[in-house]
Structure 1
Amino acid sequence: MTSPALETFLDVNVERISFRPDQLSPQQIRDKLSNGEFVELADVPGLVWKKTSDRVPGGRDYAQNAGPEHPNHYADIDEPDSEGKTLRDLTLAGTEFMSVENWRTWYQKNRHTDAKSQGLLPFRVWQIFGEMVRQLQAKNDTKFLCAAGVLAHYVGDACQPLHGFYHSDGYRDAKGATTKS
């Protein structure tokens, strides 16, 4: 951190953003959720938004494991299309390809017609980082902190090897069939 004020601000609010490292256990997360306790901001995208509202207040799924939040947690950037080009190749070749619309079109052409199979993680990170900048410029510490906490979840997802690998649910053959390993 280059800004002592920002470092202090984040340190004071760490428990709003995420668990402290010595408290991060699956059982503690389950206990907090089942008791209706506060959910740390970094866990909201996975533990609240990816649930149905009848199970968790604020849930965005319209059915179990089906809703608008799911594509935001990964991106299969290494899957080749029929010409051997990947999303990574196309995106690095020119900024004109860097749009949700172009990525969705690529997914559609490559047999990924269900929205939940069209990973858009980089765009979610970009979107929330932009919100952080807007809130910082507006001097709205509360909204800045909220965006920073939520962004921590997606940046964590981006660091998970299988969140960017098209074989993450098992080996896919050339026809798209999946074999679980």
Structure 2
Amino acid sequence: MFSIRRRGVLAAAALLAVPSLLMAWGNWGHQRVNRAAVLALPAPMRTFFYNHIDFVVTESVIPDSRKYVINDKPEGPRHYIDLENYGDDINAIPRTSTEAYAKYDAALLDKEGRLPWYIQDMLGKLTAAMKKQHKDEILFVAADLGHYIGDATQPLHTSANHDGQKTGQKGVHAFYESQMVEQFGKTYNFKLTEPKLITDPTAEIWRVVLQSHAAADTLLAVEKKLAAATPADQVIEASNGQPRKNIFNSSYRTQPYTAAYHQALNRMVERQLRTAAQTTANFWYTAWVNAGKPDLSKLDTEYTTKSNEHNLKEELKTLDKTGKLVDFSSFTEFPQGK
């Protein structure tokens, strides 16, 4: 297994290598989901996770990069599930990973996605790492688990119409999950409740996935209606007479159009990101409880904990007062300015 430091180097090298379509919530969103989840943990867990918050935040985006950096072919289907393609009756889809792997062959799972079942597998791995008190494994699996839970809260990661390609809305994926998040994310409230024990993780992750899936039709319908009511030259931003593109070849929507869409969705994006962060904290906490509540404090030196103590207190104070996370730098897919 890579050391935490080596994984940090991999993270830095990978940020520019990932096509936008795979990056649910983009770097900006995924990193803040994991940071908010760390701060929501109860004290016996929070101190340990905060000692390594830079790693947990950076690692949150690596599952999106893994496929392209190390050619990890199995990685792709872990990020989505095209529910419609598993049959007309969503309730007939197996809920547990054991049942799903028995019912479907690997080719179908790789084509239509494994997301909710892979989250179940990762929760098991995190629980095992907690029991062993294996520091690197705990941090690595927890950070990755936060990523996949984030994917489960992005509605378009649960739909075969994942980029609006079936409804004439191609490009909506990056617009919804990255451009809007980057433009308005600093206004979002990331103050969460203390995590709770999930007695039925299978039911819980399917509740999240199905709620996200229900929201997919809403976000597509709202964008389609808004686009129809907006002059074409006020939808896509132009640069030198051509549609402005980012480094992933995704078109910029104009800032007024983005603001109108954000308002029409009534802060849906904020709600979904909060759900991602809260669910991540809940799953981390559940793994810890099911592992017997191991003492994580002994995994770090007193020096490490003391050196982070002040920053943790200040960050919690800011979050309690304002609901805002500290400002930190993230790679942005849609940087402003020409």
Match of residue 83 from structure 2: 77
- How many Å apart are 1:99 and its aligned residue? 2.0
Deviations 1:34-81 (A, max 9, x none): xxxxxx21122111x110xxxx3xx134xxxxx221111001124463
> 8 Å contact 1:71–1:117 — kept in the other structure?
yes
Aligned counterparts, 1:31-180, within 5 A: 40-47=58-65, 49-51=66-68, 56=69, 59-61=70-72, 67-79=73-85, 81=87, 84-86=88-90, 89-91=91-93, 98-104=99-105, 108=108, 116-169=110-163, 170-171=165-166
DSSP 3-state at the match of 1:156: helix
Deviations 1:78-128 (A, max 9, x none): 4463xx323xx1136x769832242448x84xxxxxx64220011221111
> 8 Å contact 1:17–1:41 — kept in the other structure?
yes
Give, as a single letter, the amino acid of the residue that structure 1 aligns with 2:81. A
DSSP 3-state at the match of 1:171: coil
* Aligned length, in residue pairs: 130
- How many Å apart are 1:138 and its aligned residue? 0.9
**Bigger helix share:** 2
> 8 Å contact 2:86–2:93 — kept in the other structure?
no
User: Structure 1 residue 14 and structure 2 residue 32: aligned?
Assistant: no
Normalising by structure 2, report the TM-score.
0.34
Please report the RMSD computed on the Cα atoms of aligned residues, expressed in angstroms.
2.8
> Gaps (5+ residues) in structure 1?
19-39, 62-66, 109-114, 173-178
Q: Which protein shows a greater Rg?
A: 2
Q: Identity across aligned pairs (percent)?
A: 23
> Gaps (5+ residues) in structure 2?
1-39, 171-338
- How many Å apart are 1:180 and its aligned residue? 6.2
In 2, the alpha carbon distance for the partners of 1:155 and 1:17 equals 14
Normalising by structure 1, report the TM-score.
0.61
Higher relative contact order (CA 8 A, sep 6+): 2
